[in-house]
Amino acid sequence: MSSSGLIISALALPAFGACLIALTRRSPNVREGITLITGAALLFVVVQLFLAVSAGERPEASLITVVQGIDIAFAVEPLGMLFALVASGLWIVNSIYSIGYMRGNDEPRQTQFYVCFAIAIASTMGIAFSKNLFTLFLFYELLTLSTYPLVTHKGDENARRGGRIYLLILLSTSMLLLLPAIIATWAISGTVEFSVGGILAGKADGAVVGILLALYAFGIGKAALMPVHSWLPNAMVAPTPVSALLHAVAVVKAGVFSILKVVVYIFGIDFLSSSGQNQWLLYIAGATVILSSLIAMTKDNLKARLAYSTVSQLSYIVLGAALATSLGIVGGTMHIAMHAAGKITLFFCAGAIYTAAHKTEISDLSGLGRVMPFTFAAFFIGALSIIGLPPTGGLWSKWYLALGALEADQVIIVAVLMLSSLLNIAYLLPIPLKAFFGTPKKKQKTSPEIKEAPLACLIAIGITSLLCVVLFFFPGPVYDLASMIKLR
């Protein structure tokens, strides 16, 4: 198959899968079989693209011209390749997990769930491969809209409220800030295409660069930079597989990915660092890292704590972008993959705990580790990866981020990274430790019938926690992709 055909099929496969899933709603087994087959086919296509990209190719595909010479067009480059690889790879794992979770909890409207999920993945592929800001924006909005039904899945007042905040913040930031930023970029430089070295250099100066960067940084609300982060904790009303893949991987990573992409290919790192306008973004990202870690410590609800942890970790990647140094970009890019593996494991565990024991609060988990040892062991590994301790992949991305900060002479940022790791330890490690060594509260004894979660869930947890460890020993492919990004 031609390389442009591969790109189109990466988008079309999940979309087509969504149609098939909708058609086979009467038979859950066929429906979920199709989900898995689609996932496998998508991964196959993405791996083919990965091989092509590793070999130095840059596949492109163009659909149609929409406005004023702007096309809906796709081009695969290393950064987008990594993002697509992470999202499509984890989709399969997440589908396995979803089957266990959705059946285990007897969730209603499961067909709608799988359909929306597939559409969300198709949008994610569109974001990853977009060749220009216009295409990126198109799929960015599609991702918001297709995940809205997933957030409100429960359908009660709480879910509706969460969904409302989710939609309003994401849509309004993207329309109020991101869209004007894109049109302004177009007005200034006459193009919105991602190009090596940026397109704004020499066409904009001081204040305009700062304003544009601000419009992008806050307009891409999915990156959850404070103060536009509050949609993320609210989105936790969604079923856990949604939180796991979308709100730890696809949606939020689409945000930070877009920021990286804008910094590298629209501003250009040399232009950005020489303009000096990246300074304030560094401080905002650093503040987000610390503040949201502090907020996470106060949360007793497990998913809420993980959500704030995500907010904090996302800002690592924004930090990497804001450093505007080659090592910073490498670190930020790697962190997309590393954090994805770690955080999805943690969410999987949270969902498994909910399915098996119907517990959502951290204070109720004491002693649960003894009946669910596998789950909590995986949780421990995931936590290590988030903190950035060996033997997990999280170490590497933090390592490069710190190097990048040193390269840019930002000692404060190095300090922020260190402090944040300490905070991570403080809010993550007590959870598995309590579960293994704590004594259950008197009034809610660990009832004997609590067992491990359904097998499908455990398989998924096993895969992702293994992935965390594997990425420690073999970070090569991730690092190679990250270092292949042409910066100038």
User: Shortest approach of other proteins to residue 208 CB, angstroms?
Assistant: 10
User: Shortest approach of other proteins to residue 274 CB, angstroms?
Assistant: 25
User: Shortest approach of other proteins to residue 228 CB, angstroms?
Assistant: 14
Asked if residue 311 lies in contact with residue 222, where contact means CB atoms within 8 angstroms, the answer is: no
Q: Which residues here bind other proteins, judged by CB under 8 A?
A: 63-64, 66-68, 72, 134, 137-138, 141-142, 145, 149, 152, 155, 159-160, 163-164, 167-168, 171-172, 175-176, 179-180, 183-184, 186-187
Nearer to other proteins, 103 or 154 (CB): 154
User: Shortest approach of other proteins to residue 182 CB, angstroms?
Assistant: 9
User: Shortest approach of other proteins to residue 30 CB, angstroms?
Assistant: 21
Nearer to other proteins, 184 or 469 (CB): 184
User: Shortest approach of other proteins to residue 432 CB, angstroms?
Assistant: 36
User: Shortest approach of other proteins to residue 236 CB, angstroms?
Assistant: 18
Nearer to other proteins, 36 or 142 (CB): 142
User: Shortest approach of other proteins to residue 142 CB, angstroms?
Assistant: 7
Nearer to other proteins, 215 or 344 (CB): 215
Nearer to other proteins, 139 or 308 (CB): 139
Nearer to other proteins, 132 or 325 (CB): 132
Nearer to other proteins, 143 or 395 (CB): 143
Nearer to other proteins, 40 or 142 (CB): 142
